[in-house]
Copies of this chain bind each other. A is one copy, B any other.
């Protein structure tokens, strides 16, 4: 295994292949086959995310994968942003179709055409719906499995409100979901930004996004919430009658946690030089039992291993690796696969009346009496998550810095991370300043901290030298 810290890109390519997470040999460029070891974790991630958003009142629906051209082009900014990336269906069987259909690059236009038929009055609001689906985009940037490909797996929530305030409250609720699920349950730290005006979603008034950092210090966008204002409701005619009986357009938000991409963050941030490391509840397999066998003790040891397995399998996912490989080989294999807990059991342990439990995250070995095993594993599972969150937070914290000049920014970027800089503005006119940074340092302005009220005092914009009015964060990005 390559060293994660010194050559992350090589580490990533190696682990996704060795742990059989995906296969890049499928016959269409940019389309990846996701293998069981990644899909099992992504399914768990989907469940946690769906539970959290359903608890907050979003209900599931399923909309067609194809979108008529006429829907897709109804909101003018949206067209401009997405049409260059669309895969078009033009033919069915041997015949050309009359119109052409887009494979959804995102579902605003598919969903809002129906919302206009369903929403009529104040009793229909707030209207909070989601779908779990795939989307397709003809990416021109280099693809990398899970991080960026032409097909990805996500959840998208699409919501309508009577007022702008209600819509803004949804942005905060989305941030809360991101914190609870992605940070606390997946263990992925992030900063929550308001994107600069030049970097928002096509058709939105504002884009708010959680960014994490990959081990090479480059920023990776996790879910974003788009404040759509009334742009789409006006284009699609989504209206309600207010108390006076007058027609009003709804205010809209959408939120898009991309599970396949967040999975990339999970495996990259927690992994180490031995391979994958998973939070206990995200691992496809939670416990592997490795028998320590000599020829004459084989039967006795396997009998005990099977008893331990039976004790555990109601509460956890557990596998007894009774294959012919050596214990050492098995240790390496299952460590590489990220299984959180290994149980070793040999004749000496049986005589001592214990089993040995080994934590993947710390390597810690604990001797446990069989009767205490289920409880000890439950405790260890919680401790593993806690440790991974803490470790990731500490690492992330160390990647935050600040700079007051272009030179200082350059120096800070030698160890990339998020660098806070004073800036003139995040409005469209300030894009020229962002371009200076991009050109000089190959880094991007990711936005202002959503929840921070801090403003620069007597500082100058790092790029143009005019008065600084806002702190923005700069990073190299995926």
Contact = CB atoms under 8 A, between A and B. Distances in A.
Can you tell how many copies of this chain the complex includes?
Answer: 2
A88 B90 contact: yes
A138 B64 contact: no
A94 to B, nearest CB: 7
Contacts of A366: none
Contacts of A134: 65
Contacts of A32: 64
A93 B86 contact: yes
Interface stretch (A20-28, A187-195, A326-334, A449-457): A20-28
A380 interface: no
Contacts of A280: none
A66 B117 contact: no
A61 interface: yes
A410 interface: no
Contact of A61 (B25, B34, B94, B153): B34
Interface stretch (A35-43, A175-183, A240-248, A390-398): A35-43
A contact patch SS: mixed
A400 to B, nearest CB: 35
A68 B34 contact: no
B33 A66 contact: no
A90 B91 contact: yes
Nearest to A35: B61
Contacts of A28: 64, 66, 68, 101
A465 interface: no
Given A27-B71, A85-B93, A36 B59 contact: yes
Contacts of A92: 85-88, 138
A84 interface: yes
A105 to B, nearest CB: 10
A426 B103 CA distance: 42
A96 to B, nearest CB: 9
Given A27-B71, A88-B92, A33 B153 contact: no
B91 A27 contact: no
Nearest to A151: B64
A393 B91 CA distance: 44
A83 B93 contact: yes
A70 to B, nearest CB: 7
A60 interface: yes
Interface in A168-226: none
Interface string A9-29: 000000000000001011110
A471 interface: no
Contacts of A83: 93-94
A113 interface: yes
A43 B113 CA distance: 24
A60 B33 contact: no
Interface in A90-137: 90-94, 100-101, 103, 110, 113-114, 117-118, 129, 134, 136
A428 interface: no
Highest count of chain B CB atoms <10 Å: which of A66, A86, A100: A66
A412 to B, nearest CB: 37
Contacts of A70: 27
Nearest to A99: B28
Contacts of A88: 89-92
A63 interface: yes
Contacts of A114: 23, 25-26, 33
A153 B62 contact: yes
A118 B37 CA distance: 14
Contacts of A129: 36
Interface of A: 23, 25-28, 31-36, 39-40, 43, 59-66, 68, 70-71, 83-94, 100-101, 103, 110, 113-114, 117-118, 129, 134, 136, 138, 151, 153
8 contacts: A23-B117, A26-B113, A28-B68, A36-B59, A36-B60, A39-B62, A84-B94, A89-B89
